[in-house]
């Protein structure tokens, strides 16, 4: 008879051979999920023996993870900024850097919370929902060009009872919004910014399972960043902030272009591993 600990160890060993980046952690998540336990509860039950009926579903998931299906698709969620976000093929799996992005913006608005927020390319809805929770008096608009992604984002909003705080609109970037509305205190986006070449070098979990549409942009990853930057001013209220996640090599040119787009105080910010990954610029007060 195999104990939980035996299964954790065997699965970890198998994942190591398959090149899974966090073998032990993923083994624990999959086993806990299959047994309907919280991951930490496994530690209290390591000596518990498992029946064949319990082992069969674990084996299936371990095999799929070994073939490099993302953990978040197998267990169906990711825990993000205090929200359990449902994940599947319809949208990008939220990344840990995006949690840092939220922290930074939370700091920027410490004195005066934003009342109207726009999330461009909402995907799973993660940024829109996190901000709706952090800033309870804000109304959030979230757009996406993919109707699949919007469907997932709406499901996530319903799960977290935030559907009345966030309105979802189908369309490319600002397309679904009235022009010159100048309404938003904060425009956020984690747009596609990888070059084709960078995308080719991503892990199999990313390349084969995240929508390519959510990751890749033409012109060395610049195209979508420029599109958003160029149109941001007419949708920001005076003093409003545009904040985007970017690649590491994008800031210099974005800072130049921000000026041309009528934005001020353009600056890059680094993530916790000191990589320049966040770009901020404001509409001047006038
Ligand atoms: N806004 C979503 C996220 O940050 C989706 C981003 C995307 O699809 N590029 O996860």
How confident is the model over 192-220, as pLDDT tens digits? 999 999 999 999 999 999 999 999 999 99
CA of 127, closest atom in ligand 1: 1
Question: For residue 276, is it within any domain?
Answer: yes
Q: Are residues 45 and 177 in the same domain?
A: no
Q: Are residues 97 and 214 in the same domain?
A: yes
| Tens digit of each residue's pLDDT (9 = 90 or more) over 24-49 | 999 999 999 999 999 999 999 999 99
| Ligand 1 pocket, residue 126 CB under 6 Å | yes
pLDDT (0 to 100) of residue 22: 97
Question: For residue 80, is it within any domain?
Answer: no
pLDDT (0 to 100) of residue 80: 94
Question: For residue 198, is it within any domain?
Answer: yes
| Ligand 1 pocket, residue 243 CB under 6 Å | no
| Ligand 1 pocket, residue 221 CB under 6 Å | no
Say yes or no to pLDDT of 286 above 90: no
| Ligand 1 pocket, residue 4 CB under 6 Å | no
Cα–Cα distance measured from residue 183 to residue 281, given in angstroms and rounded to the nearest whole number: 16
User: By alpha-carbon position, which residue is closest to atom 8 of ligand 1?
Assistant: 214
Domain-terminating residue out of 15, 37, 67: 67
| Tens digit of each residue's pLDDT (9 = 90 or more) over 103-159 | 999 999 999 999 999 999 999 999 999 999 999 999 999 999 999 999 999 999 999
| Tens digit of each residue's pLDDT (9 = 90 or more) over 228-255 | 999 999 999 999 999 999 999 999 999 9
174 touches 142 (CB < 8 A): no
Q: Are strands 166-170 and 139-144 parallel, antiparallel or unpaired?
A: parallel
- The closest alpha carbon to 279, from 172, 173, 187, belongs to 187
Q: Are strands 276-282 and 236-245 parallel, antiparallel or unpaired?
A: antiparallel
Mean pLDDT of 261-284: 96
CATH number of the domain residue 125 falls in: 3.40.50.150
pTM here? Answer: 0.95
CATH number of the domain residue 57 falls in: 1.10.8
CA of 211, closest atom in ligand 1: 8
Question: For residue 79, is it within any domain?
Answer: no
Mean pLDDT of 162-183: 92
CA of 191, closest atom in ligand 1: 9
Residues with Cβ within 8 Å of 250's Cβ and at least 6 positions away in sequence, in order, are: 193, 221, 222, 225, 279
pLDDT (0 to 100) of residue 182: 75
pLDDT (0 to 100) of residue 54: 97
| Ligand 1 pocket, residue 192 CB under 6 Å | yes
pLDDT (0 to 100) of residue 178: 83
Q: Are residues 135 and 200 in the same domain?
A: yes
Question: For residue 103, is it within any domain?
Answer: yes
Domain span holding position 149: 89-282
CA of 91, closest atom in ligand 1: 8
User: By alpha-carbon position, which residue is closest to atom 4 of ligand 1?
Assistant: 190
Q: Are residues 181 and 261 in the same domain?
A: yes
Q: Are residues 197 and 107 in the same domain?
A: yes
Q: Are residues 150 and 250 in the same domain?
A: yes
The best mutation among 130, 214, 245 to test binding of ligand 1, ranked by most ligand atoms within 8 Å of the C-beta, falls on: 214
Number of domains in the chain: 2
Going from the Cα of 184 to the center of ligand 1, the distance in angstroms, rounded, reads 19
| Tens digit of each residue's pLDDT (9 = 90 or more) over 63-91 | 999 999 999 999 999 999 999 999 999 99
Going from the Cα of 252 to the center of ligand 1, the distance in angstroms, rounded, reads 23
pLDDT (0 to 100) of residue 150: 98
């Amino acid at each position: 008879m195999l104990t939980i600990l035996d299964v954790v160890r065997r699965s970890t060993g198998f994942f190591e051979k398959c090149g899974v980046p966090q073998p032990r952690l993923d083994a624990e998540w999959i086993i806990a999920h299959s047994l309907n336990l919280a991951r930490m509860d496994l530690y209290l039950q390591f000596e518990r023996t498992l029946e064949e009926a319990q082992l069969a579903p674990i084996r299936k998931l371990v095999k799929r993870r070994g073939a490099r299906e993302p953990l978040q698709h197998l267990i169906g969620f990711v825990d993000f900024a205090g929200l359990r976000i449902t994940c599947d093929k319809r949208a990008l799996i939220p990344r840990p850097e995006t949690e840092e992005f939220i922290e930074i913006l939370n700091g920027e608005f410490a004195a005066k919370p934003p009342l109207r927020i726009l999330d461009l390319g909402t995907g799973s809805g993660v940024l829109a929902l996190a901000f709706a929770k952090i800033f309870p008096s804000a109304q959030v608009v979230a757009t996406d060009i993919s109707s699949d992604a919007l469907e997932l984002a709406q499901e996530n909003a319903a799960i977290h009872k935030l559907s009345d705080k966030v309105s979802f609109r189908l369309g490319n970037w600002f397309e679904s919004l009235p022009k010159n509305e100048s309404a938003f205190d904060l425009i956020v986006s984690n747009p596609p910014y990888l070059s084709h070449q960078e995308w080719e070098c991503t892990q199999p979990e990313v390349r084969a399972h995240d929508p390519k549409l959510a990751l890749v942009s033409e012109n060395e990853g610049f195209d979508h960043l420029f599109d958003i930057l160029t149109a941001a001013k007419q949708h920001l209220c005076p003093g409003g902030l545009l904040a985007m996640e970017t690649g590491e090599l994008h800031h210099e040119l974005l800072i130049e272009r921000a000026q041309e787009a009528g934005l001020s105080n353009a600056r890059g910010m680094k993530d916790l591993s000191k990589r320049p990954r966040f770009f901020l610029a404001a509409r001047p007060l006038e």
